[in-house]
Structure 1
Amino acid sequence: MMSPRKTHTWLPLAVAALLLFLGPQSSLAEEPIYRLCVPQIYLAECQQLLADPSEAGIRMECVAGRDRVDCLELIEQRKADVLATEPEDMYIAYHRKNEDYRVISEIRTQQDKDAAFRYEGIILVKKDSPIRTLQQLRGAKSCHTGFGRNVGYKIPITKLKNTHVLKVSADPQISATERELKSLSEFFTQSCLWL
């Protein structure tokens, strides 16, 4: 579920993307009413946003779903026409039986448009630790939320690789996963992984 803070970013952008996609039209009498599905908790904001008539002459109304997945179902049932999604929702839509979903526009927020990741993991050290830089992590104990997990494994390991702190061997005798694990075992003295 999206936080209310994020709503102020994606909801107006979703409406703007739809308006750009549909373009200006000639007559309101002939125009269909496009139904924008939003999670129930954002219905009032959606209605407030659509209270002013569209300059492009596009008529829209808000339809509430339980959540974003329910909005996908409402689109399948033809009870809604469009929704703003997260990448995870597009993945779910791709794997549903109905194949007539279409991405009409992709919008990245200004805050993370050039970010390497959509969200960042953190490296947490004890307050009295002498560690102040990534390089000083060498020889420390490392704990992760699980092998291959995004925030707890992939993002921090990728950060260490991208900053050239962790150098992965190019040994062709072992797999890429084995090379990465070998490098990690040489970099950190101990590790813990939750499964």
Structure 2
Amino acid sequence: MLAALTGLGLSAAAGLNAYIPFLVVALVARFTDLVTLPSGYEWITSDWAIGVGAVLLLAEVVLDKVPAVDTVNDTIQTFIRPSMGGLVFAATSAASELDSSTWMGEHPWVSVVLGVLVSGLVHTGKMAARPVVNGATVGVGGPVVSTVEDGASIGLSVLAVLAPVFVVVALALLAWLLVWMYLRVRQWRRSRRPTSYAGP
């Protein structure tokens, strides 16, 4: 259960920023004993993987704060964030003490699918809301929202590794936020529709 909560938290964080949970897992596994990656996932802690992840994170942080460019970046990230969500979920599940007698141990592909779905759902909410935020604030709100998203991704990633029990609360808050943003998007779009004129 704790491994599943860790994976869910990390994949949700990947939906906000693909590279933050990846680097958190890589650095924690490399410099602490909290996560020990099994055979097949050791490359995550390598110098080149951490270096490439850091460069991509820097690019993501910058591009995601430029109005209009952030929408293009989100489109590109449609393929990256869910994939990263599946990767970090699978890596941390495999790193746990799951054995072949457990359901997830017998079906390791489940962790990949769950990671892709959770990350994809969060990414979809983020991608739908950003153009609305930019349009409603003339681009001013985009960088602010992006910074909040980065902070949430960091917090959720660290929480998933150090205290996975609290991931349930964090995911509930994130789900509420996504629903709230969806309702705000619908309301904003309705307000933008031209009203018909029936005449005198």
Aligning the two structures, in what range does the TM-score lie when normalised by the shorter sequence?
under 0.3
Higher strand share: 1
TM-score of the superposed pair, with normalisation by structure 2 = 0.23
Larger RCO (CA under 8 A, 6+ residues apart)? 2
For the pair shown, the structure with the greater C-alpha radius of gyration is 1
TM-score of the superposed pair, with normalisation by structure 1 = 0.23
Higher helix share: 2
